[in-house]
Structure 1
Amino acid sequence: MDREFWNSRYSEDHFIYGVEPNEFFKQQIDLLDTGKLFLPGEGEGRNAVYAASKGWIVDAVDFSEAAKNKALKLAESKSVKINYFISDLAKYNYPTNEYDLVGLFFVHLSPSIRDLVHSKIIKSLKSGGRIILEAFNKNQINNDSGGPKDIQLLYDEKVILKSFSELLRNSTGEILLLKNTTIELSEGDYHKGKADVIRFIGLKK
């Protein structure tokens, strides 16, 4: 699924994944002090706008111009400001030691770039910063509630542990949560119904 696919999908006249934040993201961010948040692959902006409404400084990036346009309209409608950049995640110029929190929600990266992108994301976190991730796990291949139909793009514990291994190397971080669970998704047109997901929270020390 390339830029053309996502621009076409995001060009629909409504918010295809809804305007409410991801439930897991909302649960977690509501427990944290505000700071600076990074949302790669943010799409239409529902998580970015929610965080900004809670007082977070938000940087978002996606390669879809159509997604950015909708995100900025949503932010304007809620009277909040977000920073939104257009870039391929593998080519983005990631800052170092910049963010208190990174959120990755249903950002299913190709194995060819996954470890590279996640490594850059870890470097973008400040000491004490966290990564919160929710993605479809490999059991999702049997469901029709959303997500890729290529099992190589779906995640499991082995994929997460390998891709975020820098957090565990030389005690530079800690896994706060890593679990598979089944949920009922209700996120617009394309995330709806029973879904098998993996949830991960990592801490950078």
Structure 2
Amino acid sequence: MKQIWNERYKDQEFAYGKTPNLFFKEWLPKFETGTILMPADGEGRNGVFAAQLGWKVTSFDLSEEGQSKALQLARERYVSLEYIVGDLEQLAFKEETFDAIGLIYAHFPGNQKSAFHRKLHTWLKPGGIIIFEAFSKQHLQYVKSDPRVGGPKDIHQLYSKEEISADFKHYETVLLAEEEILLNEGKFHIGKGSVIRFIGKKKASR
């Protein structure tokens, strides 16, 4: 998997562009700045955007090539971020470290994604925010019609509203929707697709 992403990110051109995901761009400014974790941040377009808004950003991804591009983009935008190369299974942060987590097209193996979400949950402070957008299980139909839209071909890596509700059951749901959208993100997310969008606020522990 690491090799796949290094291959994708090694070109000079940014695979998904330099501008942030539109949903992330819409929602992140609604919240007070603080610390934010950006899993699977790739070439850093979303992490760098968060840094431009004043967030203290920690990004991670499997790809060294992604890290290099993200740090390049950060220099171009005159901001800084911490970028860790590694697998989520091996990463460890203190509990309740972050004020927000941005999960933008963070597709994990089907047998691990719920466990990964639970792990991320422990790193978020009570009252912290999750901003989530990823392809829905319905998206496979869109990929068959137009492969340019991208996304996993394994249905178990895709999401449903029911899965998100279960994985983030300790959250106040601000938004949870399945939507058809038109993507124009670099050369690997082009065309019509189906996504799950979720904004959740972590409830205080009892």
**Could you say whether these structures have the same fold, taking a TM-score greater than 0.5 normalized by the shorter chain as the test?**
yes
Name the residue aligned to 1:62: 61
Name the residue aligned to 1:38: 37
Superposed CA RMSD in Å reads 1.0
> C-alpha displacement at 1:131, in angstroms?
0.6
> C-alpha displacement at 1:70, in angstroms?
0.3
Structure 2: tracts of 5 or more residues without a match: none
> C-alpha displacement at 1:30, in angstroms?
1.5
| CA deviation profile, 1:73-113 (whole Å, cap 9, x unmatched) | 00011110000001111221133111111000111111221
Aligned partners of 2:3, 2:168: CA distance in 1, in Å? 29
Aligned partners of 2:68, 2:159: CA distance in 1, in Å? 29
| CA deviation profile, 1:43-91 (whole Å, cap 9, x unmatched) | 0000111111111100001110000000000001111000000111122
- Residues 7 and 64, structure 1, Cα contact 8 Å, conserved in 2: yes
Name the residue aligned to 2:163: 159
- Residues 7 and 66, structure 1, Cα contact 8 Å, conserved in 2: yes
> C-alpha displacement at 1:31, in angstroms?
1.1
Aligned residue identity for 1:51: A
1:1-205 matched pairs, under 5 angstroms = 2-143=1-142, 144=147, 145-165=149-169, 167=170, 173-205=171-203
Identity percentage over the alignment? 41
| CA deviation profile, 1:175-194 (whole Å, cap 9, x unmatched) | 22111001110100000111
> C-alpha displacement at 1:161, in angstroms?
2.0
Aligned residue identity for 1:182: E
TM-score normalised to structure 1 length: 0.94
Q: How many residues align?
A: 198
> C-alpha displacement at 1:164, in angstroms?
2.2
Q: SS in structure 1 opposite 2:30?
A: coil
Aligned structure 1 segments of 4 or more residues deviating by more than 4 angstroms: none
- Residues 94 and 121, structure 1, Cα contact 8 Å, conserved in 2: no
Q: SS in structure 2 opposite 1:138?
A: coil
Aligned residue identity for 2:153: K
Aligned partners of 1:44, 1:12: CA distance in 2, in Å? 11
Structure 1: tracts of 5 or more residues without a match: 168-172
- Residues 94 and 120, structure 1, Cα contact 8 Å, conserved in 2: no
Aligned partners of 1:162, 1:126: CA distance in 2, in Å? 19
Aligned partners of 1:159, 1:126: CA distance in 2, in Å? 22
